[in-house]
């Protein structure tokens, strides 16, 4: 129990600090396009949130969306296995209902199902964030994906990869009667901005538009087919609709819904200020004392720690970079994508 609380606290600190960088450090504007009649439901029900996967910081915008509606600490994700190796944070995620997968369904299914079933007893409202495309959009991956679509007789998509339907179908099956609805969310950035995590760390401001179809377009979970094959057909149709909305956005620069800017909550900033005051002053004192000591071994050890920390941060940034993402499909399953 103590370990669970510690892990939850560590996870919240990490995602809170990341959201603080986006909201307060870079000052990125986040506009939500949705139905005002359903706005009050956000944060008050369990939901599966489908996100497109086109940008390096789309995961960060997803967390920002969670924070604005008070579910950041209880947000869950379907994440690639590589993230579990991230020092401290990745290890903590194992205890927090974060669902990791290798993107090889034969190996992933049992683990994914078990993690999802554990969420049925989660004591708070949660959002389960999922990128059904499985990997970030690039032109090369898109070409491969559309060859798969042609081979399977599926309608081609212009702005998305074909969704990987098995993970979504299992998610719906495992969370049925627990999750109230699916939020189909489409993220874009204005003026052809190409946001990066490094840009956020450098304080660059971006302008994010997140379109969430709600109310009459809200998707109650009971309206989604339970049968895996029918669920697959449903998801492919959804991505055809998402492609049409993406086309509309590129043509007009807006979404067909009411724009709203959810108010920023002060907690991420206050959390950062608290830990900065608590840790930075003693660390600065320690650095001064180490310099004054004149010990070559002490200074070398400190420099080594700084280098390791820098490499760790660089690795984390590299994980988010589109050109460092996974290839679309493996040699043995590229043509088996559903």
Predicted pLDDT at 309: 65
> What local confidence, expressed as pLDDT, does residue 88 receive?
56
pLDDT tens, residue by residue, 218-267: 688 888 998 999 999 999 999 999 999 889 898 888 888 888 888 889 98
User: In 3D, which of 201, 220, 207 has the Cα closest to residue 313?
Assistant: 201
- Average pLDDT score over the chain: 81
How far CA 129 is from CA of 1, 62, 65, 76, 269, in Å, comes to 25, 8, 11, 6, 24
pTM higher than 0.85: no
- Confidence check: pLDDT of 41 > 70: yes
Instruction: Domains for the chain: give ranges and CATH numbers.
Output: 2-269+312-336 (3.40.1130)
The answer to whether the CB of 101 falls within 8 A of the CB of 327 is no
For 158-212, write each residue's pLDDT tens digit: 999 999 898 899 999 999 999 999 999 999 998 888 898 888 888 999 999 988 8
- Looking at residue 126, its pLDDT comes to 92
pLDDT at 337 over 50: no
The structure tokens 């979970």 sit at: 221
For the chain, strand residue ranges (E) read 29-34, 47-51, 75-80, 99-101, 127-130, 181-189, 207-213, 219-220, 258-260
Contact criterion met (CB below 8 Å) for 7 and 95: yes
Q: Please tell me the predicted confidence (pLDDT) of residue 90.
A: 59
Residue 335 has pLDDT above 70, yes or no: no
| pLDDT tens track for 74-111 | 888 877 766 666 655 555 666 556 777 766 777 778 88
pLDDT at site 20: 92
**DSSP-derived 3-state class of residue 309:** helix
* DSSP reduced 3-state for 42: coil
Confidence of residue 338 (pLDDT cuts 50, 70, 90): very low
Helix pair 165-175, 228-252: axis angle to 10 deg: 110
């Amino acid at each position: 129990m103590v370990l669970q609380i510690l892990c939850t606290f560590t996870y919240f600190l990490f995602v809170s600090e990341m959201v603080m960088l986006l909201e307060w450090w870079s000052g990125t504007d986040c506009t939500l396009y949705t139905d005002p009649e359903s706005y009050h439901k956000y944060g008050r029900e369990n939901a599966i949130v489908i996100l497109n996967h086109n940008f390096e910081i789309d995961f960060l915008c997803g967390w920002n969306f969670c924070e604005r509606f008070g579910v950041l600490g209880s947000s869950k994700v379907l994440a690639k296995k590589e993230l579990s190796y991230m020092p401290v944070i990745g290890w903590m995620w194992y205890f927090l209902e974060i669902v990791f997968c290798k993107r090889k369904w034969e190996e992933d299914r049992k683990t994914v199902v078990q993690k999802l079933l554990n969420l049925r007893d989660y004591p708070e409202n949660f959002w389960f964030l999922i990128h059904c495309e499985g990997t970030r959009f690039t032109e090369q991956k898109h070409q491969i994906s559309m060859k798969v679509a042609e081979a399977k007789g599926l309608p081609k998509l212009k702005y998305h990869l074909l969704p990987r339907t098995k993970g979504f179908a299992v998610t719906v099956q495992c969370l049925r009667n627990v999750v109230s609805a699916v939020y189909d969310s489409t993220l874009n950035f204005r003026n052809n901005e190409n946001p990066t995590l490094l840009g956020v760390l450098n304080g660059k401001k971006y302008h994010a538009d997140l379109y969430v179809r709600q109310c009459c377009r809200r998707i109650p979970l009971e309206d989604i087919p339970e049968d895996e094959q029918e669920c697959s057909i449903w998801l492919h149709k959804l991505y055809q609709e998402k492609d049409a909305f993406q086309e509309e956005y590129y043509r007009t620069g807006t979404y067909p819904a009411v724009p709203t800017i959810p108010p920023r909550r002060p907690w991420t900033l206050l959390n950062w200020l608290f830990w900065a005051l608590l840790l930075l002053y003693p660390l600065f004192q320690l650095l001064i004392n180490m310099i004054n000591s004149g010990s070559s071994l002490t200074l070398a050890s400190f420099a080594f720690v700084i280098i390791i920390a820098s490499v760790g941060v660089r690795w984390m940034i590299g994980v988010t970079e589109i050109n460092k993402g996974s290839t679309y499909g493996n040699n043995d399953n590229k043509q088996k994508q559903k």
